[in-house]
Amino acid sequence: MRELFTFSRKERTGIIGLLFVIFVLIVVGKLIPLFIPPEQNDFSAWETEVNGYLAKKANGNPVDCVLLPVEFNPNEVDSVHLSNMGLPPKVVSNWIKYLGKGGRFRDKEGVKKIYGMTPEIFGQLDRFIIIPEGKKGEVGTGVDKRRIQSSHFATRDTLFRKPDPGKERIRVQELNSTDSVRLLDIPGIGPVYASRIIRYRNLLGGYYAVSQLREVYGMREENFRIVSSYFTADSSSLKTFNINFSTLQEMGRHPYIGFRTARKIYRLRDKMGKFSSPDDLATVVADDSLKRLIPYMKFNQ
């Protein structure tokens, strides 16, 4: 015990010196703020903004938001269309509930009355709202009399509009260069299908055949037969990717690959090196997917 708790003169001197240094550092740390005042940060603007946000949220009002509106008929929209434009969920829900109960907007003033609609939101939508003029007592010539079946899905008319036999034939459009507004001119395509066609085109990198429209979510065969005659597909405008240099995320986002197959391709590439032809992928990609994928792939740097 004596050997364990007994220090030599040299050790005692070192301990005393260490304690002295610690004491000096503590004193210096206490004195520095007296001579060098800390920098004062002004958080008043930030606190005001946060308080305003919390106040709006507490009152049930949607927070100011920036919308991405496109021209639309307020009587023929669905929850997907409204959400894509950036409307707050509460406004979308109340809008769809109103239509689901058989309500119709006869003018823009009616849109203002949706619960949760603020002047700021309406100001961004105002010039994009289009209500077709109809006969007396009707909301518009293009409005279907059927009620919306649920608060989460559009009427079938919004998804797929039957062609008007008396309407002048629309000029054939190229799938990879058309936009959503021009798609609405095609008999049989409503706002929802137009949005899905554009979204799927962006995921694919373009259409190389009109038959790929069958893969658009919700596209039934009878719908495809009606709209297919209005389109052509220019495969020269496809957005291709190099299978030898694409990342796992880039390959996984392609509809014909998916992340499970992308991981297999990535491991195979790491094992055998660069691919030289589609045949090198036959062991990890299904035959039907590989045939559809070939137009989008390139192998040379």
Residue 11 has pLDDT above 70, yes or no: yes
| Of 158 and 270, more confident | 270
Q: In this structure, is residue 149 part of a structural domain? A: yes
Grade residue 173 by pLDDT with cuts at 50, 70 and 90.
confident
Q: What ranges make up the beta strands (E) of the chain?
A: 173-174, 231-232, 241-242, 297-298
Residue 113 has pLDDT above 60, yes or no: yes
- Across the chain, mean pLDDT equals 80
Q: Work out whether the CA dihedral 105, 90, 197, 153 comes out positive or negative.
A: negative
Q: What is the pLDDT of residue 296?
A: 93
Q: How many domains does one find in the chain?
A: 3
Which residue, 112, 135, 158, sits at the end of a domain?
158
Q: What is the pLDDT of residue 148?
A: 35
SS3 72: strand
Q: What is the pLDDT of residue 180?
A: 85
Residue 166 has pLDDT above 50, yes or no: no
Whole-angstrom CA distances from 30 to 27, 33, 158 are 5, 7, 72
Q: What is the pLDDT of residue 24?
A: 95
Say if residue 265 is in the same domain as residue 283: yes
Q: In this structure, is residue 19 part of a structural domain? A: no
The Cα 201–Cα 224 span in angstroms is 16
Report which of 136, 231, 214, 216 is spatially closest to residue 176, judged by C-alpha positions.
231
Structural contact between residues 233 and 212, judged by C-beta atoms closer than 8 angstroms:
yes
Residue 278 has pLDDT above 50, yes or no: yes
Q: In this structure, is residue 25 part of a structural domain? A: no
**Phi and psi at residue 60, to the nearest 5°:** 80, 10
Choose the weakest-confidence range: 51-55, 122-126, 165-169.
Answer: 165-169
Q: What is the pLDDT of residue 119?
A: 86
Q: In this structure, is residue 134 part of a structural domain? A: yes
Mean pLDDT of all residues in 186-205: 88
DSSP 8-state assignment for residue 146: S
> What is the domain-level CATH number for residue 283?
1.10.150
Q: In this structure, is residue 131 part of a structural domain? A: yes
The Cα 49–Cα 47 span in angstroms is 5
Q: In which domain, by residue range, is 287 found?
A: 241-298
Say if residue 225 is in the same domain as residue 278: no
Q: In this structure, is residue 95 part of a structural domain? A: yes
Q: Which amino acid is present at 277?
A: S
Which residue, 237, 253, 278, sits at the end of a domain?
237
Q: What is the pLDDT of residue 146?
A: 37
Residue 86 has pLDDT above 60, yes or no: yes
Percent with pLDDT over 90 in the chain? 21
Residue 192 has pLDDT above 70, yes or no: yes
| Of 69 and 106, more confident | 106
Which residue, 237, 253, 283, sits at the end of a domain?
237
Residue 17 has pLDDT above 90, yes or no: yes
Q: In this structure, is residue 100 part of a structural domain? A: yes
Percent with pLDDT over 70 in the chain? 81
Q: In this structure, is residue 285 part of a structural domain? A: yes
Grade residue 16 by pLDDT with cuts at 50, 70 and 90.
very high
**Phi and psi at residue 241, to the nearest 5°:** -135, 150
